[in-house]
């Protein structure tokens, strides 16, 4: 018997409920669930470790490049060496030796190893527009409008920060899904305009103070 987790509450529901119609009601949260089950649900989840040849290679048989005491059973698709099962790994549709796996990860920075990326273009854009959006929302509540004014004052810090981040991470990798520098350009433009306005305002203020 296999179990399918409810999308709403995560409770494990027996597969018998879904085999005929593909839908059923979760016994815990009571919500109707539509399920599509696949053959992998009935495959045993444990995997056998790779079989290791117990005998060293006979004369004339290929030996593992990294451990000559083992018989070579695979060829690395990257560097072409003969390796045993213990020194080979499945990498997508390819068979790769462990040394090449390490090279792919550390030297070539293969994107398939990446699990997370920081989106500096979005951070720069958030710093440029975030205080204005927050201020607008607070002003719209009518009785928190004074906090909206405080948010606008925050731009004296966020605007230069936005410019710095946009310039500092101009060439940094953006999302794994390719996209242009539009966000960085927009953040840089808005940040520079706001910074310019602040500088102008401060200079005018200082000039007025001197005048008085």
Residues of this chain that interact with other proteins (CB under 8 A) are 1-17, 19, 25-43, 45, 92-93, 112, 114-119, 122-123, 125-126, 130, 133, 143, 175-179
Task: Report DSSP state, residue 173.
Answer: -
CB of 15: closest distance to other proteins in angstroms?
5
| Residue 12: alpha-carbon gap to chain centroid | 28
Which is nearer to other proteins, 58 or 115 (by Cβ)?
Answer: 115
CB of 26: closest distance to other proteins in angstroms?
8
Other beta carbons within 10 angstroms of residue 187's beta carbon come to 26
Which is nearer to other proteins, 19 or 207 (by Cβ)?
Answer: 19
Environment class of residue 72 by beta-carbon count within 10 Å: exposed (0-12), middle (13-18) or buried (19+)? Answer: buried
| Residue 209: alpha-carbon gap to chain centroid | 51
Which is nearer to other proteins, 17 or 75 (by Cβ)?
Answer: 17
**Tokens (6 digits) for 180:** 């242009």
**For 206, phi and psi rounded to 5 degrees?**
-65, -40
Return the SS3 of 83. strand
Q: Please name the helix (run of DSSP H) or strand (run of DSSP E) that holds residue 76, with its range, or none.
A: none
CB of 83: closest distance to other proteins in angstroms?
21
Which is nearer to other proteins, 63 or 147 (by Cβ)?
Answer: 147
CB of 112: closest distance to other proteins in angstroms?
7
**For 204, phi and psi rounded to 5 degrees?**
-65, -40
Task: Report DSSP state, residue 63.
Answer: B
CB of 206: closest distance to other proteins in angstroms?
34
Distances from the Cα of 164 to the Cαs of 54, 60, 168, in angstroms? 60, 63, 6
CB of 145: closest distance to other proteins in angstroms?
13
Of 145, 120, 124, nearest to 135 (Cα)? 145
Which is nearer to other proteins, 23 or 200 (by Cβ)?
Answer: 23
Which is nearer to other proteins, 81 or 166 (by Cβ)?
Answer: 166
């Amino acid at each position: 018997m296999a179990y399918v987790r409810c999308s709403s509450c995560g409770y494990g529901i027996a597969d018998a409920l879904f085999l005929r119609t593909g839908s059923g009601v979760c016994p815990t949260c009571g919500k109707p669930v539509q399920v599509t089950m696949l053959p992998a649900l009935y495959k045993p989840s444990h995997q056998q470790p790779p079989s290791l040849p117990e005998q060293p290679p006979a004369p004339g048989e290929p030996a593992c490049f990294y451990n000559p005491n083992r018989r070579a059973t695979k060829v690395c698709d990257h560097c072409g060496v003969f390796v045993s099962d213990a020194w080979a790994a499945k990498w997508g549709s390819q068979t790769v030796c462990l040394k090449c796996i390490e090279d792919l990860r550390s030297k070539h920075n293969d994107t398939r190893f990446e699990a997370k990326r920081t989106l500096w273009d979005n951070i720069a854009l958030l710093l440029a527009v975030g205080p204005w959006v927050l201020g607008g929302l607070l002003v719209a509540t009518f009785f928190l409008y004074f906090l909206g004014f405080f948010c606008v004052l925050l731009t004296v810090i966020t605007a230069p920060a936005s410019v710095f981040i946009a310039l500092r991470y101009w060439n940094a990798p953006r999302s794994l899904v390719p996209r242009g520098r539009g966000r960085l350009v927009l953040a840089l433009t808005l940040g520079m305009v706001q910074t310019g306005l602040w500088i102008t305002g401060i200079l005018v203020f200082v000039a007025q103070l001197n005048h008085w």
